[in-house]
Every structure is written in C-alpha cells, then in structure tokens.
Structure 1
C-alpha cells in the first residue's frame, strides 16, 4: 500500500529536480554563450594590445604559454610570432573571429587590422581549454544547487509530514475507539479538508449506531415477545395431552417443535446479551477454575439423565472477562458435549496453566466433528447434517457461534481437535493468564 507522504514527497521532489535540471541546462547554455563572448572580447583586446606595440623587437620578445599564439603580418611578411605559431597565417586576412585547426588542436582565432601601421595582428586560443575553463566556472555555480537537493528533500519530507500530521491524529483517535464505541469523533483539527472527512465519518457512525440499535432492539424484543406465547403453548400442550391420551405421539412431536423454538429464542437472547457492548464494562478478574466448577454443578443433573461420566481436573487460573459471558461459553460447549455424547459416554473437563496462557479443554466420546466441518460449525444457524442430525438432538446452530463471539471478545483462541478418547472432539479455548501478565 503506497504512502500518501511518500507519494507527495516523490512527486514534489521529482518536479523540483526536473525544473532545477531544466533551469541548470538553460543556465549552462546561456552561460557558455556569455563565456564565449567574454573570451572573444579578451582575445580581441589582446590582439589590439599587441597591435599597439611600436617596436618589432618588443613584439618578438613577447612570451606566451602553449594555449595562446599570435602573428603580426605586413603584407606577406611575418614581422613577429610566438614560438608555437605556424609558418602560415593563422586565418584569412578578414577582420573577425573564426575557428581553425593547426598544431594538432582546434583554435579560436581573431584577425585585427591596424591601419596606421598597415599590419594584421592574428591571435588564437585553444578551444578545448576555453571550453574546460568556462565549464568549470559554470559547474561551480551549479554544484551548490545539486548539493542542496538532499537538504531540500529532507525539508519537503518534514513539511509534508507536518501537513499530514492531522491525518495521523485522526487515525489514532479512530484506533483508540472500542468496538462498541460508535460515538461521534471529537477531532479538533483545523484543516478544512479533514473537517469534511470527520463530518462524513460522524454521519456514517451515527447511521451505523442507529442501524445496530434497531437490529439489537428487534432481536431482543422479538425474543422476549415470543417467550410468553411459547410458555403458554407448553401449558396448553400439557393440558391437551391430559384430554387426548390417544394422540400422545402427535402431541410429542408438537412439543419437540415447541422445545426447539424455545431453545432458539433462548439462544437469540443469549446472543444479544453477550454482545461486546453489553458486557465490556463488566470485565473483571475471574477464577476460571471456580467458574467451571459452578457450571459443572449446575449441569450435573442434566448430565445424569444420560448416565454420562464426567471428570474434571483443574487448578487456580485467573483470566480477565465477563462472568456471565464465560459461563455462557461453558454452558454451550458442555451442552454440545452432553447432547452429542451417547449414554454412558465420557466427558472430561480440564483447566491448565501453560506458560502465559490458560487452557480450558472439554473432551467427549461422541461422534466427533470431521475436520472439514470444524470451521463451519461456528457459523450462525449451521448444524452438521442440518435438522436431521444423526444424534436426533434439538439444536438451532447458534451455540458455537455464541461461543466464538465470546472467545473473540476475550481475545481467546479456539482449537478443535480429535478427542484423546476412541472417538469424539476436544474443544479447547486458550485465554491470556492475567497473573503472568501482572494484571490486577
């Protein structure tokens, strides 16, 4: 994912470098032209100076370096010349500048006619040395601009970072929000563009909050409203069974359907009650060992109906959570183990401390859950085999969805594996150990 800051800095720096390069190129070209004119003027002045020397002996005594040469002609007679001058005229006897090749180099030449003395003064400089000298001067003026580019890049980075800092502050405020916090943002940024974003986000949060409240209220109200007629229906079925003894099987079938409906309503209510916004404020330090023993005591009567053997091995282990939610998790997992374990089967429950985690594990000797189905069983209203489950037990497919919701809200990890017994499933939940983390 590309960073806005990197994108802006890259684009701005690329544009600055492009314009700097174009400006430097134009400056280089114009400076070279100006340097050529300056060198030409200097060469012409030198030729005029030599033309003003009165004595031929004085001209002959002039010494120059190898990158400069001159000649003084009167007609076809060479009056004076530097030691590195050719025997022939440096250029044609026409006043002005030209380029000529001799002595293995290319030279910039000038011819100057001194009318009073009737002489031609010809001077020349090596073109390559003129070019190198001019280029060095120009590059020295450009180098500070090139050297300043890294500093400019750093300044651009800091300025862009400063400009984007309100976005980071807004992101931090959003990150600090709890999952159940749909209140409006209180961002105090002064940037007009960010104010528009914040207003849009607040509008979205408001609409989302209204929609979620409407959904939760509907689920809660519907479940509560259904409980009363279901209870009444159960009573009426009991009374009818007393009056119509010959229709017991039909009434049993109806009663099974009513029980299933009541179970669905109870699970919907549980799903509503274990929503994070319902219990986040009730999070506290809990002794998981004690909670498990309480739930096992509450469920023992139901387990005895199928003469299932229950064992428990535990130790003091503390987690941070909501008591009602953790009990609901235990009840749902135990209920599944009880329902899908045959009579005289085994259910083993354990609580163990492992390094910085606490393992709650419930194993049964039931039919088990095949590996491909171990992800799908946590989907809402999904049951392996649907309503025609091989066990014949009632269910609506919400129990493990509720368990998953509770586990995620407690930052716990669920693991489904094969039971250590001949058949069945091992359902393990891993919580953070608050004692190892130093929490109170």
Structure 2
C-alpha cells in the first residue's frame, strides 16, 4: 500500500470519527432543543384554546383536545383522558400511541391539548437533517481538498518513484527529480551518491574480466604453440598435463569473453526472428565428434515457433547447455532435447543420463566459477564454472526462466522458458 493511500486512509478515518462524534453530539443537543421548542409551542397553543370554540378546531386535532370544568368534561375527545391531569407538561399513552400533553387551568376551567410524539419527532429529524446536510457536504468537500493536498505534498516522492521504476538497470546517471522538501532532498542526494559508487563498481567488474581475458589470449596462444612444439620433441606425461592445463585456461578465457559480450546494449539492434530448433541442429552437428567418440544417443524432438532474439546470445546459451550435457554424460549415455510451444512461451528441455547435480547445490551452480566438488569434479572433467552462469545471464536478458531438475535417467534436466514475441532485451 502506498504512503499516499495510507495517509489518506488515516486522515479520512480521523475525519470520519470526529464527524461522527460531532454529529452524534449535535443530533442529541438539537433534538433536546427541538423538544423544548415544541413544548413551549404546545403550552402557548393550550393557552390560546380558551378563546377558541371547539368547533373551530381542525378535525385532526379534535381527538387530542379536552376542556374541563371542575371534574366534568365539557368538550373535546372523551377517550383522551378520564380525568383532569395536573397543570403542566407530561407524556402519556392514549389512543394506542404516545402523546405529549399540556394542561392549562384558570380557576376551575382547564384545557388539555396533546400531540403525537411520533409526529413531532419526525418533524424534529427533518429540521436537524436540513441543518446538518451542509455540514456533511462541507466534510466531503474537505476530504477532496485533503486528497489534493496530500497528492501535491507527495508529488516529489511520486516523481522519484516513477523515475526509479522506469530506469534501466545499467543507467547510473544522476536522478533528474528535483526535490526541495527537507524529507525528500536527503533521499535524492543519498541515492545519487549510491549511484555514483555503484557505477564505479559496475564498470570495474564489467571491464576487468573482459580486459583480462583479452590480455591473456596472446600469451595463451604463444604457450599453445610452444607446447605443441614441446610435445613434438618430448611426448611425456608432464607435457601432456601442462597442455591440458593450458586448454583449461584457454576455455576459461573464452567463457569470460563470452560472458562479457552478452550484454543487451550491444545486441539490441540485432534482434530478429530465430529458430531454436535450427540452432540446436547446428550445435549438435558441431559437437558430433565428441558425441560419436562417446557413442551417445542424442535426440532432438519438437518444432516450435521462432523467437525474437539475437544469434550470438542464443547460440552461447544453447551451446553451454548442450555441450555440458555432452561433456558430463558418460559413454553410451543418452541426451534428449525437446522443444515445445506453451502459448506465448517456448519451452526447451535438455535431459541427460550423467551424474546430475544434488538438489541442495542447484541454486549455487549458477554462481560464477562454482563447480560441484571444486577442482576435483566427480566426473574428472575440466571446466571453468561459468557455463550455467552464462546461461542464467542470457536468459535474464530475455526475461525468461531457467530451472534445474533430475532427469528420468537420474542425470540433469535443464528447462528454459522464454517468450516468443519479446521485442526488447532486458537491460543487464
């Protein structure tokens, strides 16, 4: 719930409570005052009856009027009272209703006049409501003014929230919202300072890995050439181990470069329709020597619609998934790739019969440079620990989802879900 909504609810609740108490108190006082005025009017009318003949009274009032001389009823309704009441005002039950009566006497001559309480109560309510209605309308108008005042007072916070909401994740420029309020200005200043520090840290992290990888490529190439020449002269175990280490380091450098290149601003203008099935077919053909060497049973099932994407990012993501399945699946194992339409989404499943990943490690496996067992991987296969980190990074650009499950053969099943028609990549 927003601050504006909470503040409005609080102010309106206080306003309604105060209004209710004021109206209740005013209603009671107004009703008491109206009763007093009606009583005065009833007494005045009773005194005037001495000068009025009975037949001159309105017919609807005849049943509520009596004239007594001593203890003898000489006029009016016989069912109103059986005897002369004391002089003054009192409330009685007569003729099936509650009446307010006034008695006025001069010597032995008395006049009694009554009126139904229900009628005077209805009239009192009409008068009170007529007096309080402008107050209710004024309160409603006040609520509107309070809402506008709160909206105006919170406008800097609203503008700040809107700017932060629409800002790209890699936009570290200073906030454009100009806040003069003493409560908002420190927040804007603190956020701007935080953005400056975050931008510096972001740039250091982003360019360090790619710059380091670029710098390493040249000496690595030279090392591979020298190792090749060394293996031609001395084909011993130490040279072979060194060659494997260089290959592993070269793989790490290539993965770091791939991770650095998969950023949305570099590929946003290269978006086009891409066929995941066609990319999978190309990757299987590219990896076929390894597949044939291990005698793996690999299958690609399903045709799905094309997605809006960029060739390099999709190729890197799918290559890491499929090549991992090929690397970690033992000889004579199975790999199944399945593509399916899911309405607005496409689902890609890659399942293998390899060692799999324990459920408690499936979240950490997306961390950069993390490998199950560290350098002593159970499958004794070299790797950099960046493959699934790159997969998660790329699928994040496409605002999709990646899940890891156990396959039907006890290995790993990677499930990718991404939208078919997403015209933009998410900012990284």
Residue 64 of structure 2, aligned match among 43, 67, 70:
67
Match of 1:268 among 246, 253, 256: 256
Residue 127 of structure 2 corresponds to which residue in structure 1?
A: 138
Could you tell me how far apart the structure 2 residues matched to 1:31 and 1:423 are? 83
Taking the aligned partners of 2:412 and 2:315, their CA distance within structure 1 comes to: 20
- Cα offset for 1:60? 7.0
Out of 109, 133, 145, the residue aligned to residue 102 of structure 2 is 109
1:16-415 to structure 2, matched below 5 A, reads 16-51=15-50, 53=51, 65-71=62-68, 82-84=76-78, 89-91=84-86, 97-99=88-90, 107-109=100-102, 111=104, 123-126=112-115, 128-129=117-118, 131-141=120-130, 144=133, 159=148, 173-186=163-176, 201-227=191-217, 248-250=236-238, 252-253=240-241, 256-300=244-288, 318-343=306-331, 357-358=345-346, 360-369=348-357, 373-414=361-402
1:181 CA drift (Å)? 3.6
Deviations 1:384-433 (A, max 9, x none): 3333223211123221121122123223444555667x675454534444
Contiguous gaps of at least 5 residues in structure 2: none
- Distance, in Å, in 1 between the alignment partners of 2:12 and 2:205 is 51
Output one character per residue of 1:84-121: Cα deviation in whole Å (capped at 9) or x when no partner. 475755326xxxx44376868664535465xxxx6765
SS in 2 for 1:269: helix
Contact map agreement 2:43 2:102 (CA 8 A) in 1: no
- C-alpha separation in 1, matches of 2:19 and 2:386: 67
Aligned mates of 1:106, 1:423 — CA distance in 2: 92
CA deviation profile, 1:218-252 (whole Å, cap 9, x unmatched): 33334444555656666777788899x69x54555
The answer on whether the counterparts of 1:230 and 1:258 sit within 8 Å (CA) in structure 2 is: yes
For residue 262 of structure 1, report the CA deviation from its aligned partner. 4.1
CA contact (8 A) 1:283 1:321 kept: yes
* 2:422 matches 1:429: no
Evaluate the alpha carbon distance shift between residue 309 and residue 146 of structure 1 in structure 2; reply closer, same or farther with a 3 A threshold. same
Relative to the length of structure 2, the TM-score reads 0.71
**8 Å Cα contact 2:31-2:128 kept in structure 1:** no
- Distance in 2, matches of 1:139 and 1:289, equals 79
1:11 offset after TM fit, Å?
3.3
Tell me, what secondary structure is at the counterpart of 1:388?
A: coil
- Distance 1:71-1:147 versus aligned 2 partners, 3 A rule: farther
Cα-to-partner distance string for 1:184-231 (whole Å, 9 max, x where unaligned)? 455589999777766655554444333312221333334444555656
CA distance in 2, matches of 1:99, 1:317: 91
- Which piece of structure 1 moves more, 191-200 or 208-217? 191-200
Cα displacement (A) at 1:328: 1.6
Distance 2:44 2:301 in 1: 110
Describe the shift of the 1:16–1:315 C-alpha distance in structure 2 as closer, same or farther (beyond 3 A): closer
Contact 1:28 1:138 in 2 (8 A): no
| Deviation string, structure 1 residues 275-295 (Cα, Å, up to 9, x no partner) | 444434443333444444544
Q: CA deviation at 1:148?
A: 5.8
Greater Rg by CA: 1
- CA root-mean-square deviation: 4.9
Q: 1:252 to 1:431 in 2, by over 3 A?
A: same
Against the structure 1 CA distance between its residues 360 and 20, is the aligned structure 2 distance closer, same or farther, given a 3 Å change threshold? closer
User: Aligned with 1:386: secondary structure?
Assistant: coil
Matched residues in 2 for 1:86 and 1:357: separation? Answer: 89
C-alpha separation between the residues in 2 aligned to 1:357 and 1:261? 37
Q: Is the 8 A contact 2:402 2:415 kept in 1?
A: yes
Query: 3-state SS of the aligned residue for 2:63?
Result: coil
Q: Secondary structure at the match of 1:125?
A: strand
